[in-house]
Amino acid sequence: MSQPELPLQGVTVIDCGQVIAGPSIGMLLGDFGAEVIKVENPVGGDQIRSFGRQKDGASIHSKLYSRNKKSITLSLSSQGGQELFRRLLKTTSCDILIESFRPGTLEKWGLDFESLRSICPGLIMIRVSGFGQVGPYRQRAGFGTLAEAMSGFAHVTGEPDGPPTLPPFALADGIAALYATVGAMICLYQRDARGRGRGQVLDVSLLEPIFNLLGPYLLEYDQLGLVPERQGNRTASAPRNTYRTADGRWIALAGSTQSIAARVFNAIGRPELITDPRFKDNRSRVAHVEELDAIVGAWVGERTQVDAIEALLDHEVAVAPIWDIRDLVTDAHMAAREAIITVDDRELGPIRMPAVQPRLSETPGRVRHAGPALGEHNQQIYQELMGLSPQELADLKQQGVV
């Protein structure tokens, strides 16, 4: 049975992104059929190859972030590499270029947007950096950690008496990649569907997308003068927290509406609490959240995770177990949704990884292969596509250009 055509088939992406944010954009576009050519430094490749853990000498992270891509090596800092890069853009009629160098680097190499657009008039350039292409901080080293710190995220994350807390994964990078991918789709629509025929630049910082998600805090400060502080798992509704079970595990509960709060009280055998002045509505519950958490926490603490979940679900309470990765890979719902897929890899054999998101009913994305070895497609791209001879490619390798 033939596979349906992928929605971005025919779109060519040159991915010069590094580490996580830039490469994630290329991954998302590749998941839906774009031809993604990943350009990596001949010495070591994308830095993601040295991040995280390895198995049998292969980067596990690269297997994910470079899935559905072709890898070539090219030294963009060399004159020969710059000439070959321009030729690559012209040969492929590149639609989208992703780069995440420090602002000004491409200009220093003579690869600025206007000169590249003279080669590919429809070029869409996604420029990912820590703080953007303009502004006083543009030249600072930029990592997601700094964006998570400066955006206000770390300030509100953690317990009231604890330190500001950073996420243990690349949160700011992932958010920036999602915003950038949406922006790329808007640019393609503007260029092609609306017939404007020209590309444009997306200036994507790591700081602003995560700040945007924290936007309500800005409005509360602007209108009410409120500065949010760390409050653990609590929000503007109650009961809402994590609760430890008798077997040392945890559950998360969200009584965010009046009806669900009533179900919680019924489930724990305390229906009278719904008329208690302390807990009669959400504002009262938030004002007396310590007392409420003590009541709910005591009930949960007398039961195992399974028993607590079942009792609460029987009353249609919004509750879930707090899982680790072992729980996720064995869960029946995740399996039914095919949220985790297995991909055969030439280096590591079968690899499990997250499935493509979002789900499209008619033209779903798919993972054709995991991330390739460094420079695995040099011959295919340089010789078969661009017409270099074996001797020319060998000479460029000897010179350190590829």
Q: Which residues are catalytic?
A: 173
Amino acid residing at 99: E
Phi, psi values for residue 39, rounded to 5°: -95, 120
Amino acid residing at 129: S
Please report, for residues 6, 27, 296, 378, the alpha-carbon distance to residue 233 in angstroms, rounded to integers and kept in the order given.
41, 32, 14, 49
| Strand pairing report for 96-99 and 69-73 | unpaired
**Residue 261, burial from CB neighbour count under 10 angstroms (0-12, 13-18, 19+):** buried
Q: Please check whether residue 95 is in contact with residue 124, taking contact to mean a CB–CB distance below 8 angstroms.
A: yes
Phi, psi values for residue 187, rounded to 5°: -65, -40
The radius of gyration of the chain's CA atoms, rounded to the nearest angstrom, is: 25
Please report, for residues 270, 308, 320, 333, the alpha-carbon distance to residue 311 in angstroms, rounded to integers and kept in the order given.
14, 5, 12, 19
Amino acid residing at 142: G
Q: Please check whether residue 401 is in contact with residue 81, taking contact to mean a CB–CB distance below 8 angstroms.
A: yes
Residue 155: partners with Cβ closer than 8 Å, 6 or more residues away: 164, 228, 229, 230
**Residue 108, burial from CB neighbour count under 10 angstroms (0-12, 13-18, 19+):** exposed
Q: Where are the alpha helices (DSSP H) in 151-214?
A: 153-156, 171-188, 207-213
Residue 353: partners with Cβ closer than 8 Å, 6 or more residues away: 63, 64, 67, 340, 341, 343, 367, 370
- How many CB atoms sit inside 10 A of residue 59's CB? 23
